[in-house]
Amino acid sequence: MKLLEYQAKEVFRSADIRTPNESMVTTPQDAVKIANESVGYPCVIKAQVPVGGRGKAGGVKVANNADDVLTLASQILGMSIKGCIVDKILVSQAISIHNEYYLSVVLHRASKKPMIIMSPSGGVDIEEISKNRPEMIFKEEYDFILGFKDYTLRRTYQKMFQNQEEKVSYKEFKGFLQKLVNVYFEKDATLVEINPLIVHNKECMALDAKILLDDNGLEFHPEFEKYVTSNAEETLQEKMAREANLTYISLDGNIACMVNGAGLAMATMDTIKHFGGSPANFLDIGGSSNPEKVVNALRIIASNPNVNAILINIFGGITRCDDIAQGFREGLEKVKFDLPISCRIIGTNDEKARTILKEINIPVTTDMDEAVQNVVKMAKGG
């Protein structure tokens, strides 16, 4: 489960992790009240949605006075960002920023230990840093018994702050990291991320926050019940998928993916990125051959206005390919959309499936790379 920014910061503050002075509101009038009474000016109005790209979509604005707050809050509340309607905003203290850093805690699957990922080039996606400036990413493994290894963490600390005017002590930096790791453990998180992290008055501060919680651990955390019951954490497509008993995760791209099996779905998204495309979602229709699943999946995909093309990737084992193809036939009759489709299908009864798909004019191949390259061209208008 993904927490919204204001929710993640509530968790941070409970762990004594510093954040700006801010409050979540749901009306423009309340935004003005908070700005006047506690936050002050200038302040930042930030849309609270469970997707990235808020700034580019116009969901993050700076207000210099009460009139600005009223105008900007009215504009942001109710807007749609990647299919998510904004019904909450964060009114946040504007902090002077000299440098932006990246910091996160994730699981290192090989060592089965938490890994702290850091970079002095924050403020952008970590994938972008990794691609364009890999030398600016530093990693530290956290030992369950020994904690941080001082001799390696000190080197990382020096690399992180060697070229910066701000002075944050090693003790402050290490203590801040420890608090972040504690949140990771104590809240059963799968990701704890700060981007950007800033230094304010010689102390580390989380200017933004992201926390992903392990759904299997939610029963041990009654404090998160208020977040679980909030629809704000779901996109429209995720809500539709949950109601249809499908596994779906919204992403930022424009190529919709419909795949059977989580592993194949992950490999499919990696292959799309490899060939220059961007996946719009993770969607696993499961291992059964119920055509109704395909119909529901098409409904979900067609509801996303950001999708330019659809990739269907089926490897039939238990799943019968002809049943999947029949689901496409039924889906195209029930769900009206005008999107190009590329399909790769192979496995049990795949010849029958290809016959059905050709009858309804869906191009089909048995080669995954070919199907992905085709859909990337389609998404780009080729």
| Catalytic (active-site) positions | 102, 193
**Cα separation of 195 and 212, whole Å?**
14
Report the C-alpha gap between 222 and 203 in whole angstroms.
Answer: 31
Long-range contacts of 127-134 (CB under 8 A, 24+ apart): 129/102
DSSP 261-293: SHHHHHHHHHHHHHTT--B-EEEE--SS--HHH
Integer angstrom CA distances of residue 260 from 72, 213, 221: 43, 25, 32
Looking at the DSSP bridge assignments, the partners of residue 91 are 23, 45
| Amino acid at site 202 | K
- 182 alpha-carbon distance from chain centroid: 22
The structure tokens 């084992």 sit at 317
Cis peptide bond prior to 42, omega within 30° of 0: yes
Residue 222 token pair: 């009654």
Structure tokens at 282: 């993770």
Structure tokens at 220: 């041990």
Decide: 110 and 84 in contact? Cβ < 8 Å: no
CA dist., res. 191 & res. 140, Å (int)? 15
* C-alpha separations of 380 from 44, 87, 271, 274 in Å: 35, 32, 16, 15
Q: What is the DSSP string of 74-138?
A: HHHTT-EETTEE---EEEEE----S--EEEEEEEETTTTEEEEEEES--SS-HHHHHHH-GGG-E
Other CB atoms within a 10 A radius of the CB of residue 340 amount to 17
